Chains A and B, each alone.
Chain A
Amino acid sequence: MPSVTMTVNGKQVSGDVEGRTLLSTFIRENLDLTGTHIGCDTSQCGACVVHVDGRSIKSCTLLAVQAEGADVVTIEGLADGEELHPMQEAFRDCHGLQCGFCTPGMVMSAVDLLNVNPDPSDHEIREWLEGNICRCTGYHNIVKAVKQAAQTMRGQAAAAE
């Protein structure tokens, strides 16, 4: 079995995997980071979105071996200790989650949106999140949460300057 080494949530990890092992499987089973969820088998649902080298990606679309040397962040690595990331905080404030299953992928995807577009319109948020399916919320409060997080993060960025 090939072995693979990468950085996950700031720590270097390695493991032996079958060639066919997906990054999502490696994260869940080898690393026991079960916040990354598997909701489908056709790369549609987006529950498994993580960040690879700073960009959001459905972790079921990569083989674990393809992530050799990559810098991976999962939902478990987003908060700063006990302090939630502004996106996590906004999802809670705006009731942007119900059953919580799509939530990790949704949050990771939304964080990347703000990385590339710090002030998205409702339309841009809805288009960006098209690859993340939520069955509970109807998306209304998710859109609200992303807007709130965007505002918070723009404020933080301005304060830092």
Chain B
Amino acid sequence: MSETGIGASVKRKEDKRFLTGQGNYLHDIERPNQSYAYILRSPMAHAKINGIDTAAAAAAPGVLAVFTGADTAELGGIPCGWGVNNKDGSPMAEPKHPMLAEGKVRHVGDQVAVVIAETYEQAKDAAELIDVDYEELPAVVDMVKAISGDGPLVHDEAADNLCYDWELGDEAEVNQAFDGAAHVVSIDVTNNRLVPNAMEPRAAIGEYDKATGEYTLYTTSQNPHVIRLLMGAFVLGLPEHKLRVVAPDVGGGFGSKIYHYAEEAIVTWAAPKVGRPIKWVAERTESFMSDAHGRDHITHADLALDAEGKFLGLKVYTKANMGAYLSTFSTCVPTYLHSTLLAGVYTTPKIYSEVKAIFTNTVPVDAYRGAGRPEATYLLERLVSKAAWELGIDQVEIRRKNFIPKDAFPYQTPVALQYDSGDYDATLDKALELADYAGFPARKAEAAQRGKLRGIGFSTYVEACGIAPSAVVGSLGARAGLFESANVRVHPTGSVSIFTGSHSHGQGHETTFAQLVSETLGIPLDNIDIVHGDTNKVAFGMGTYGSRSLAVGGEAIMKALGKVTDKAKKIAAHIMEASEADIEFKDGKFTVAGTDKEMAFGEIALAAYVPHNFPHDQLEPGLEEQAFYDPMNFTYPGGCHICEVEVDPDTGVVEVVGMTAVDDVGRVINPMIVEGQIHGGLAQGIGQALLEACVYDEDGQLVTGSYMDYCMPRADDLPDFKAATTETLCAHNSLGVKGCGEVGAIGSPPSVINAVLDALRDRGVSDIAMPATPQAVWKALKAAETPMAAE
């Protein structure tokens, strides 16, 4: 293994600029003569707009323009990227999502008007002068109420607020599996609504060049080409060759910066109208009420088991909150990213899943780290643990008994996916050892002496990422392909620029991708640059989400590198007067087999651009190659998370005293970075389980609208993590990589709640919802103590 190649914990190339304040985030960009936008947002969850008087605002100091929905009504709505059909085959309800409200507001934070002024303060001050005549309407927040038939309608064109009623599997067939079951275990779980909260708030600058007719949008995006396509083609009707989208250093995304947002369209559309660049930066409060939220499922599930605890069948009924409008990938999250994961790591032969997607007067909900897979994992692992407790089977044993064995791959699940590789016993074994499971009874007894209730919780999971084979997702309703692009440009002196459609917003691509190049071409990291985030530089690519950067973007780079080495071998053969078949390339050197002739990679690069004696009918000058890679299948990382908690029965405080994660993410390119990704996911998983909840009151007011109210995990809320990996290689990509960005957030929440329940079991508590706050735990303990008092 080389010090800079595959498998090395190379220190990150990007760190120096971030550590010295030289990062180039959107808020840091100043365009010449730029103006500033402030978005006036709805203070109400649901209201008719009878009129908007902007005269006073337009006349306020520094104001350049004020626009409302009346100005943008002719433009397209913010599009949804995935169509899902109802059980009867009819298409989902897909009401327009206007960039500025048209006649009605549907959630607190809905965009009503934009003020553009010389300074941000002037724009914000002037917005206070806009007089909006709202006629407040009853709002609906609760999903059950929304589809009850007598709730207020968020959209007139969505009867009963139903976006779709979808299913996977044959319910009657699964019912048959239940008929012969020795046990049926049922559970009702809520997957709490979360706010992604990347630390950099969203921002955008729109700019128009009168001379060339070219628009430029600078935006905080995980996928600038996707934004160019959605905004250019569907909203503003701008041709792609006249629209450049730049996503510079982006301060975290976690899914929330995948989507096309109204503010991007507003500043781009308005730029030629005011004749100046327009900058908009969200205040954190705006982020809470306008960034797409995550999760928000209510699920009932039944698991059928035989007398020995083998799973026979699973039925899952889910209500998924879409919020007020359909965000870009909202519709596929509870369906194709959730229901297809319900086999988990188990051999359950029959599975049925029904999903009702529901409109409410809340912020749109879309993918957040894990997207559908955490919801599937949570309900499944809660259900498996509950079954073990009810049937008196050990938590480890029930899992092992039902694991897909390692020799069963490729394994076809009953819910569409075919897992290519895995070894769930291996991850479980390693996790049991790292967590010292054998020592748990002693630790529990010791904790009891201190008056603490100690519990241990398990989650054994698999997820589907490396998103995604275009043919598969296309057949399921995706309105896009999910390939990735890469371009390898070898410069005459042998340094290399890689242009990738992936986008790094914390994942360390500038390092990991450079390691692939260093390994393949045998050149030092300092000679390699990774270029991303600019549609004028990079070929059309799909961006970063769904743990796809390495498994799809990295594979595209490998494919382009292969073309480069093929071409370089031709050049080497020509110069060294050998047969191409005799050329070998290793450690950056081209050699002729059986001779001492050799040329360095840099010499070949130079020759490619100084082709004085090339046979031009056989060999083109230059050394630059392009590749697009479309994966054959999803990738399937999996693992075991074991959480250990101590609960203070007097206060309800839960302390995570141990968090062990053993994940099989396939081949690891940079162990340091992979471990960091897993840590981050675990923190978000523990956050979901114990701290975070996005709360609306029944009128649709956002109660948790700032960091004063929404509990972000802080340093003193979290433990040290024990993270390790095992390795089975992905069977369908050249690197054998699976993806590591989401595993922490997918696997960990049920392990935490199962640990809390294990701690509270002896006190008669059998259920607790996320987040298990001190108040919730204390109430559950009190209710179990005095059942009458709880009523």
Given contacts A34-B27, A130-B715, contact A140 B249 (CB under 8 A): no
- Of the candidates A47, A88, A127, which one forms a contact with B19 in the assembled complex, judged by CB atoms under 8 Å apart? A88
Interface: A97 (CB within 8 A): yes
A140 touching B20, Cβ below 8 Å: no
Contact with A along B257-285 (1 / 0, CB 8 A): 00000000000000000000000000111
B508: contacting residue among A34, A41, A98, A127, CB under 8 A: A98
Contacts of A41 in B (CB 8 A): 283-285, 706
A15 CB–B CB distance under 8 Å: no
Q: Is the CB of B707 within 8 A of A129?
A: no
Interface centre among B18, B121, B683 (most CB of A within 10 A): B18
Q: B672-710: contact bitstring with A at CB < 8 Å (1 yes, 0 no)?
A: 110111011111100000000000000000000011100
A69 at interface (Cβ–Cβ under 8 A)? no
B200 interface residue per 8 A CB criterion: yes
Q: Any chain A CB within 8 A of the CB of B586?
A: no
Least distance between B512 CB and chain A CB atoms (Å):
12
Contact of B714 among A33, A34, A76, A133 (CB under 8 A): A133
- CB pair B716–A130 under 8 Å, yes or no, is yes
- B684: chain A residues within 8 A (beta carbon): 135, 138
- A59 within 8 Å of B by Cβ? no
**Chain A positions within 8 Å of B12 at CB level:** 92, 95
Give bound CA distance, A139 to B197, whole Å: 16
CB distance from B9 to the nearest CB of A (A): 8
Size bracket, chain A contacts: 35 or more
- Could you give, for residues 22-33 of chain A, a 1 whenever the CB lies within 8 Å of some chain B CB and a 0 otherwise? 000000100001
Check if B19 sits within 8 Å of A92, measured CB to CB: yes
Q: Mark A2-25, 1 if CB is under 8 A from B, else 0.
A: 000000000000000010100000
- In the complex, whether B201 has a CB less than 8 A from a CB of chain A is yes
B629 at the interface (CB under 8 A from A): no
Q: Which residues of B contact A45 (CB under 8 A)?
A: 199, 284, 707
**Judging by beta carbons under 8 Å apart, are A100 and B251 in contact?**
yes
B15 contacts A74, C-beta separation under 8 Å: no
CA distance A127 to B25 in the complex (A): 29
Q: Is A135 in contact with B11, judged by CB distance below 8 angstroms? A: no
A56 at the binding interface (Cβ < 8 Å): no
| Given A41-B284, A44-B706: A135 and B715 interface contact (C-beta under 8 Å) | no
- The reply to whether A138 and B21 contact each other, CB–CB distance below 8 Å, is no
CA distance A130 to B717 in the complex (A): 9
Known: A99-B251, A125-B715. A40 touches B21 (CB 8 A): no
Cα–Cα, bound, A98→B677 (Å): 9
Interface digits, A111-149 against B, CB 8 Å rule (1 contact, 0 not)?
000000000001101110110111111111111000000
- Cβ < 8 Å to A, chain B residues 405-462: none
In whole Å, how far is B199's beta carbon from the nearest beta carbon of chain A? 4
* A93 interface contact, C-beta 8 A: yes
Q: Is B52 an interface residue (CB 8 A)?
A: no
Whether, in the assembled complex, A62 has its beta carbon less than 8 Å from a beta carbon of chain B, the answer is no
Taking CB atoms, residues of chain A closer than 8 Å to B673 are 95
Q: Which residues of A96-115 have CB atoms within 8 Å of chain B's CB atoms?
A: 97-104, 107
Q: A45 to nearest B CB, angstroms?
A: 6
* Cβ contact within 8 Å between A98 and B201: no
Cβ-defined contact, A132 with B706, below 8 A: no
Among candidates A102, A122, A141, residue contacting B199 with C-beta atoms closer than 8 Å: A102
Q: Are B16 and A143 in contact (CB under 8 A)?
A: no
Of the candidates B11, B19, B252, B675, the one whose C-beta lies within 8 Å of that of A99 is: B252
Determine the distance from Cα of A18 to Cα of B62 in the docked complex, in whole angstroms: 15
Min CB gap A113→B, angstroms: 11
Beta-carbon contacts under 8 Å, B707-763 to A:
707-708, 712-716, 718, 720-721, 744
Question: Nearest Cβ in chain A — how far from B16, in angstroms?
Answer: 7
Closest to A39 in B: B199
Complex Cα distance A143/B714, Å?
A: 12
Docked CA distance A42–B286 (Å): 12
Interface centre among B198, B201, B714 (most CB of A within 10 A): B714
A75 interface residue, CB < 8 Å from B?
A: yes
Q: Distance (Å) between the CB of A121 and the closest chain B CB? A: 12
**Complexed CA–CA distance, A129 and B718 (Å):** 12
B505 touches A138 (CB 8 A): no
A101 touches B716 (CB 8 A): no
- A100 and B18 in contact, given A37-B25, A135-B252 (Cβ under 8 angstroms): yes
Closest Cβ of chain A: how far from B164's Cβ, in Å?
32
Interface presence of B507 (CB below 8 A): yes
Q: From residue B254, how far is it (CB to closest CB) to chain A in Å?
A: 7
Q: Is B212 an interface residue, CB under 8 A from the partner?
A: no
Nearest CB in chain A to that of B250: its residue: A99
Tell me if B33 counts as interface (CB < 8 A to partner A): no
Flag if B715 contacts A139 (CB, 8 Å). Answer: yes
| Distance to closest chain A CB from B720 (angstroms) | 6
| Nearest Cβ on chain A to B256's Cβ, whole angstroms | 10
B window 1-40: CB within 8 A of A: 11-12, 14-23, 25, 27-28
Task: Say whether, besides A41-B706, A42-B707, A91-B15, A100 and B23 are in contact (CB < 8 Å).
Answer: yes
Alpha-carbon gap, A7 to B249, bound state (A): 29
Query: A88 and B20: CB pair below 8 A?
Result: yes
Whether B712 lies near A136 (C-beta < 8 A) is no
**Residue among B11, B506, B715 making CB contact with A126, cutoff 8 Å:** B715
Q: Is B680 touching A98 in the complex (CB atoms < 8 A)?
A: yes
Instruction: Verify B21–A135 contact, CB threshold 8 A.
Output: no
Asked whether, in the complex, the Cβ of B708 is within 8 Å of the Cβ of A95, the reply is: no
Residues of A within 8 A of B744 (CB): 138
Bound form: Cα–Cα A37–B28 in Å: 9
Instruction: Determine the chain B residues whose CB is within 8 A of the CB of A102 once the complex forms.
Output: 199
Which residues from 39 to 61 on chain A have a C-beta closer than 8 Å to any C-beta of chain B?
39-42, 44-45, 47
- Which residue on A lies nearest to B681, using beta carbons? A138
Per the bound structure, the CA–CA distance linking A77 and B15 in Å amounts to: 16
Q: Indicate if the CB atoms of A141 and B676 lie closer than 8 Å.
A: yes
B283: which A residues are within 8 A, CB to CB? 41
| New A-B pairs, 16, CB < 8 Å, besides A98-B506, A135-B199 | A34-B27, A39-B199, A44-B708, A74-B21, A84-B16, A92-B12, A95-B672, A95-B676, A98-B252, A98-B677, A134-B715, A135-B197, A135-B254, A135-B684, A138-B721, A143-B715
Point out residues on A near B: beta carbons under 8 Å. Answer: 18, 20, 28, 33-42, 44-45, 47, 74-76, 78-79, 84, 88, 91-93, 95, 97-104, 107, 122-123, 125-127, 129-130, 132-143
| Cβ contacts A to B, 6 pairs, < 8 Å | A39-B284, A76-B21, A101-B200, A129-B714, A135-B680, A142-B715
Residues of B that sit less than 8 Å from A by CB: 11-12, 14-23, 25, 27-28, 121, 197-201, 249-252, 254, 283-285, 505-508, 672-673, 675-677, 679-684, 706-708, 712-716, 718, 720-721, 744
